[in-house]
Amino acid sequence: MATRYFLALAVAACLTNTANAAEEKNPDWNTAVLTGDWGGTRTSLYNKGVNWTLTHKSDFLANTSGGIKRGANWMGYTEAGLKMDMEKLLGWNSTTAFIHYHSELGTQFNTKYVGSFVGVDNIETAANTAQFNNAWIQKGLFGDSLSVLAGLYAIDSEFYVTDTSGLFIQPPYGMSNDMAQSGQKGPPIYPVGALALRMKYTSPGKNFYVQYALADGVPGDPNNPRGTHVQLNKGDGTLSIMEFGYTPQEDEPAAGASKPEAQPQEEAESFNKTAIGFWRYSTQMDDPVDVGVRRPSEGVYVLAERTLMAEKNHPSQGLSGFARFGAASKDLHQASWTGSLGLRYHGLFDGRDDDIAGIAVTYNHASNKYRLLNNAESSQTQVEATYRTQIKPWFALQPTLQYIINPNMDPALDNVWIIGTRAEVSF
């Protein structure tokens, strides 16, 4: 009953996580999405603060050598988002809301064929299901310098995030592996959200921010991975996470100075972010070696991303990169620390201005206790090279080539080569 009531409340008050929708240009629905503008209905709703989105991804992956066994399969992911500006709709000043629903189908590729630590595909889940992972309301205060969000929330929507790493199909470029392994049953990240309260302060000029979230320590129902479950059980505890970020804004040219030349209506794509974060669960966990000893699941991370080179006269194209490092409780978890590096180039080839090429590597260092208990290798390294081809504004194909060294740190598993492709459609 509580779950149905909460979801009904969220559905009645949904929107985007930004209060600046009024400043955005109307999308060209007739070219941006497959189903078009619905005879003008979509534009009319958007102008009133309502934006509905639907996207489908189909992944075809094949293990060509190593791992558990050779083989191939398909996985599908469909997501729907309803976004609404409550200020436009109901006159609620600086109030936004958001609801997100997703479903998964197909065979669990990593589980059956690879055996990699955390995984090799960011849409793979433990069970085929459909569920909500975000359904929240956000209020801006003090000129929107402070925002408060409450509801069903996935922390990987705002914490430990680098935009440049979002290109890749492997999981550690969303939520990093060091935190993805944490807690009793994992943190509130895709595919499961948790009841949470998030506060964020952004400095004048938007050069600095600090954000904090307090969430249920065990999201969903670990005994039932199918469907949406919102419950606060005894012993769940809470997860606290705080992030401090530096995001320097580009200065406007001085009066009389000329701006770099660019193609008409082309917007610059610029990345400049540095952040440090800390997280900790309130409920302690049993030490796997020291009997009777309980320890907190906790960690720290740092990240940075930069635009490394922008093409002259094409500020939306160029080279960017990211670096991320995180450490987790070495006495509790499989990986004591992980590190990732990646590069991506937007518009690498002439005439393919919307395509994006990328290469990234993640190193996962095994904790000493995990090695002792499992006779494990000291690490797992995973590499991905990918190229996203924008066939149409609403349709993209993304081939991927992956190499996994010491999958799951298991000496019985040979190194893995994976080839595949992702097809993505926006309706």
Question: What pLDDT does residue 254 have?
Answer: 45
pLDDT tens track for 78-129? 999 999 999 999 999 999 999 999 999 998 999 999 999 999 999 999 899 9
Question: What pLDDT does residue 316 have?
Answer: 87
Tell me the pLDDT band of 12, cut-offs 50, 70 and 90: very low
Question: What pLDDT does residue 66 have?
Answer: 97
Q: Where are the beta strands (DSSP E) in 208-355?
A: 208-216, 238-246, 272-281, 285-286, 294-295, 298-311, 314-328, 335-346
pLDDT tens track for 52-72? 999 999 999 999 999 999 999
User: Given a cut of 70, is residue 171 above it in pLDDT?
Assistant: yes
Give me the domains of the chain, ranges plus CATH numbers.
Answer: 2-249+270-313 (2.40.160)
Spatial separation of the C-alpha atoms in residues 39 and 274, rounded to whole Å: 44
Tell me the pLDDT band of 265, cut-offs 50, 70 and 90: low
Question: What pLDDT does residue 23 have?
Answer: 42
What does 333-371 look like in DSSP terms, one character per residue? SSEEEEEEEEEEEET-STT-TT-EEEEEEEEEEEPHHHH
Question: What pLDDT does residue 313 have?
Answer: 82
User: Given a cut of 70, is residue 16 above it in pLDDT?
Assistant: no
pLDDT tens track for 234-252? 889 999 999 999 999 876 5
Spatial separation of the C-alpha atoms in residues 33 and 84, rounded to whole Å: 19
User: Please, is 284 exposed, middle or buried when counting C-beta atoms within 10 Å of its C-beta (0-12, 13-18, 19+)?
Assistant: middle
User: Given a cut of 60, is residue 1 above it in pLDDT?
Assistant: no
Question: What pLDDT does residue 8 have?
Answer: 39
What does 191-214 look like in DSSP terms, one character per residue? T--EEEEEEEEE-TTSSEEEEEEE
pLDDT tens track for 126-159? 899 999 999 999 999 999 999 999 999 999 999 9
Comparing 233 with 307, the larger pLDDT belongs to 307
The answer to whether the CB of 118 falls within 8 A of the CB of 363 is no
Q: What separation in angstroms does the CA of 4 have from each of 10, 11, 197, 221, 246?
A: 10, 10, 19, 15, 39
Question: What pLDDT does residue 237 have?
Answer: 95
Question: What pLDDT does residue 213 have?
Answer: 98
Question: What pLDDT does residue 420 have?
Answer: 98
Mean of pLDDT values over 191-218: 96
Mean of pLDDT values over 248-269: 59
What is the rounded average pLDDT for all residues in the chain?
Answer: 90
Residue reference for tokens 């199909």: 169
